Amino acid sequence: MLWTTGLGRFGSGLSPWAELERMENEMNRMLSRYTYPPSGEFPAVNVWGTAEQAVVTTEIPGIDAQSIEITVAGATFTVRGSRGPEPVQENESYHRRERWHGNFSKTIELPFTIEADKVEARFSKGILYVTLPRAEAEKPKKVLVKAEKE
């Protein structure tokens, strides 16, 4: 065998993104042990990617955009926020109360280092879109092979 396989995160021949799912599950398990509602599982995230960046989307309706806290460190991305319960005055009562309220925190690890300065976030119609570009140094580069002159 000429190439090393099965070693390291990218060496297994699997998509580097496969690791994301595993990491997420692990992290959720860790976090959910300490908080209720299980903070690792809420909010649900979808991750979209190209070779150069990832876009993380999450549904957090009714949150003030200013209060959403996003932190990036290395390859991990964390979003935090909270939503208060609907205030109830005297003579008012709930018939149904299904909507979540409280604090949430979600951390996901991407298979690459994030260029922290270029992270962009947008909140529209209750959905948060975060663009996480891959660190410049890690982007795939094309190497030109020079032909030797005869």
Residues interacting with another protein, by CB under 8 A?
17, 20-21, 24, 32, 36-38, 41-50, 54-55, 57-65, 86, 88-89, 91-100, 123-127, 129
Q: Which residue, among 149, 125, 126, 129, has the nearest Cα to 53 in the 3D structure?
A: 129
CB of 43 to another protein, least distance (A): 8
Q: What angle do CA 20, 26, 32 make, to 5 degrees?
A: 125
Q: Any idea what DSSP says for residue 63? A: -
CB of 74 to another protein, least distance (A): 19
Q: Which residue, among 115, 149, 111, 107, has the nearest Cα to 132 in the 3D structure?
A: 115
Q: Which is nearer to another protein, 89 or 144 (CB)?
A: 89
Q: Any idea what DSSP says for residue 14? A: S
CB of 97 to another protein, least distance (A): 5
Q: Which is nearer to another protein, 37 or 74 (CB)?
A: 37
- First-to-last alpha carbon distance for the chain, in angstroms, is 33
Q: Which is nearer to another protein, 41 or 116 (CB)?
A: 41
Q: Which residue, among 79, 97, 93, has the nearest Cα to 39 in the 3D structure?
A: 79
Q: Which is nearer to another protein, 11 or 126 (CB)?
A: 126
CB of 123 to another protein, least distance (A): 7
